[in-house]
Amino acid sequence: MFLLKLHDLIKHNYGNGLYSKDYSYRSNNSNSLSDFNKGKFQAQTDYQSGKAFKHYPKLLFEFLNFVFLRKMQEIVNFIDIVGEIPVVLTTGGIALTCKL
C-alpha cells in the first residue's frame, strides 16, 4: 500500500514539473585508466605531496575476495601496491622509513 502511495506522489510531482532537471551524468574526463590505475596514481601523488596514507585492512579484503569469488581483486591489488610504497614517519625530529 505504501508503494502505491509513493508511486502516486512521485507521479503527481512529476506531472507538476518538480523533476524537470536533467540528472544525467556526463563525464568530460576522457581518461581511460582503470579504477586500479587511478587509485595507484592517486596514492603515488599523495605520497609525493607528503599526505598521510590510510591503513587498509588487507586480511579482511583478502577474505572478502575469496568469499565473493575474486570480485574484489582490484582492491586487494591496490592494497598490495600501497603497502609497497615506503612511508617516511617523523617523530620528534627523527625520520623513520617503513612499509605499511
Q: Encode pLDDT of 40-57 as tens digits.
A: 888 788 878 877 666 778
Decide the pairing of beta strands 94-98 and 87-91: antiparallel
Residue-by-residue DSSP string for 31-93: ----HHHHHHHHHHHHHHTTPPPPPP-HHHHHHHHHHTTTTTHHHHHHHHHHHHS-EEEEETT
pLDDT at 33: 77
| Cβ-contact 26, 51 below 8 angstroms | no
Low-confidence stretches of the chain (pLDDT < 70) are 1, 20-31, 52-54, 82-100
* The pLDDT value given to residue 45: 83
Residue 12, C-alpha cell as written in the block? 503527481
